[in-house]
Amino acid sequence: MHEWIAILDFGSQYSQLIARRLRERRVYCELLRHDTTAARLRERPPRGIILSGGPASVLEKGAPGCDPGLYAMGVPLLGVCYGMQLMGRDLGGAVRPGEKREYGLARLEVLEADALFRALPETMPVWMSHGDQVERLPPGFRALARTATCPHAAMADDARRMYGLQFHPEVVHTPHGGEILNHFLFNICGCSGDWRMSSIIEERVAQMRERIGGEHVILGLSGGVDSSVVAALLHRAVGDRLHAIFVDNGLLRYKEAEQVRDVFANTFGVDLRAPSAGPLFLERLRGVTDPEQKRKIIGRTFIDVFADEARKLGPVRFLAQGTLYPDVIESASPIGGPSATIKSHHNVGGLPPDLQFELVEPLRDLFKDEVRQMGRELGLPESIVDRQPFPGPGLAVRILGEVTPGAVETLQQADLRVQEEIAKLPAHREIWQAFAVLLPVRSVGVMGDGRTYENVVAVRAVSSQDGMTADWYRLPYETLDAIARRIINEVRGVNRVVFDISSKPPSTIEWE
């Protein structure tokens, strides 16, 4: 059994960050519901358990708790923020209600440079985000550190290997947080940190071989990172028993369909079925201007084309999907139950009854950056691994109004200029998405001696962590200038370029 750490999630915005930090240290971990029982953990014993932070107060009735059995498992325990307060309460200490002033940056004074603080400075900045604190330590614990307003900012019971931190070691505002986590993982839990991408790939390939056996598997390949990595992985696992279906909906970026065909069919030798369905999509979109209507038509048409292609293969048992960890984590919101989000738009949902498959989801426990790393190790080109998110309905949601063949071509050309200029920026990785939008308005311009009356292109560039919120990206004036000049000079039918300076919320990233 591979070593792992269980993180029980009490709903903090930072819970996923704890998982990221552990995995960066090559320690495999899983985020579990806060009420996961000791009995369940014993089935597959973790090396350690972390109780995450959370927005509730342990002093409130109905505050989320953990199975008291966890405290008797003999497995090292680290409570972070709410997790520490919970330990304080459950193990016989006292918690006092919060005051706002303990929020934010604080200076930590280390009282004992041992256990979690070995070889660290005597004082250090730490990030606090909860007012409640452990006022009286539970029996057996001693204080390891304090701040001006919090006498027990870290606590330890070495005999039982239980630790608590009032602050968040996982955030960047706690610069020594990584070392504190290292002490917990490697000295206290005895982890070896041997979780390597190469071994994950090997393990995954073996699992997929076993699961799929001599059967066949279908994959809906979108050209995005996730499905591309699934394709590369499954191809390694089952070779030509993988059948990838790439629906070319005619709404992709410039040369994107060619690139996908080239990489998968030519370089990897995947059995790639790539029906060119652009004309069908455009015909069904003719005259449609309502954004929701467009999305529905595209979704339905995708299913039709995909199903036709799948039927040609005869009966196939498995369907592979590029579901990622953030889509399946059952996060423990103290207010509601599990809030698992399913990104249905990426998945091949709603298939007709004659096409029913068993799902295989080989990336289900990985974060996006891990999937990218896996893609690189599997030999996918950077242009795919580092690709920006791209909406399923493609350019149709970036052509406001009716989607015509001419509009698609104009937008592809304008967008190509945006991509080329953005790629020149040294910091282009800070940009979550950058693209062009074709507006259904025309404005007056002059070209040479003549007057023009042509379309407007909007340029959108945003920074974001996960697409849920986004800020408009401060592109350098020179980049904006180059984009505008090139689009106006080189793309027919466009005589004006504007830059979108709205953030999400209240705007969205896409325009439709």
Tell me the closest approach of the beta carbon of residue 345 to ligand XMP, in angstroms. 4
Structure tokens at 82: 């709410």
Can residue 393 be called a binding residue for ligand XMP (CB under 6 A)? yes
Alpha-carbon distance 54 to 11, whole Å? 5
Residue 150 annotated among the catalytic residues of the structure: no
Q: Which of 51, 69, 68 is nearest to 5 (CA)?
A: 51
Q: Among residues 275, 291, 467, 493, which is the contact residue for ligand XMP, using CB under 6 A?
A: 467
Closer residue to ligand XMP (CB): 53 or 391: 391
| Residue 510 interacts with ligand XMP (CB under 6 A): yes or no | yes
DSSP category for residue 248? B
Q: H or E element: which one contains 82?
A: helix 82-90
* Catalytic-role residue among 81, 150, 189, 191: 81
- Confirm whether 170 is a catalytic residue: yes
Judged by CB under 6 A, the residue of 76, 88, 250, 391 near ligand XMP is 391
Q: Which 3 state secondary structure label does DSSP give 161?
A: coil
| Alpha-carbon distance values, 241 to 51, 244, 271, 310, 323 (Å) | 43, 10, 8, 13, 21
Q: Does the active-site annotation cover 168?
A: yes
Nearest approach, Cβ of residue 148 and ligand XMP (Å): 42
Closest CA relative to residue 395, chosen from 374, 371, 412: 412
Q: Is residue 346 close enough to count as binding ligand XMP by CB under 6 A?
A: yes
Stretch that binds ligand XMP, among 12-20, 104-112, 212-220, 503-511 (CB under 6 A): 503-511
Helices (H), 213-273: 225-238, 256-261
Measured from the CB atom, the residue of 236 and 387 that comes closer to ligand XMP is 387
Q: Smallest distance, Å, CB 388 to ligand XMP? A: 8
CA–CA distance, 137 with 225 (Å, rounded to integer): 48
| Shortest CB 508 distance to ligand XMP, Å | 3
Q: What are phi and psi of 49, to 5 degrees?
A: -130, 135
Between 443 and 463, whose beta carbon lies closer to ligand XMP?
A: 463
| Minimum gap (Å) between residue 235 Cβ and ligand XMP | 23
Of positions 131, 389, 401, 445, contacts ligand XMP by CB under 6 A: 389
Which three-class secondary structure state does DSSP give residue 101?
helix
Cis peptide, bond prior to residue 505, ω within 30 of zero: yes
- Kindly tell me which residue out of 37, 149, 207, 508 binds ligand XMP, with binding defined by CB under 6 A: 508
Q: How far is the CB of 224 from ligand XMP (least distance, A)?
A: 8
Taking the CA atoms of residue 289, residue 295, residue 301 and residue 302 in that order, the dihedral angle to the nearest 10 degrees is 140
Which of 433, 455, 479, 495 touches ligand XMP (CB under 6 A)? 433
Q: Which is nearer to ligand XMP, 54 or 391 (CB)?
A: 391
* DSSP per position, 472-496: E----HHHHHHHHHHHHHHSTTEEE
Q: Which amino acid is at 59?
A: L
**Is the Cβ of residue 140 or residue 467 nearer to ligand XMP in the bound state?**
467
- Residue among 30, 102, 170, 421 flagged as catalytic: 170
Size of the site for ligand XMP (CB under 6 A): 12
Q: Which DSSP letter does residue 304 get? A: H
Q: Where in the sequence numbering do the catalytic residues fall?
A: 81, 168, 170
For ligand XMP, the binding residues (CB under 6 A) are 345-346, 389, 391-393, 433, 467, 504, 508-510
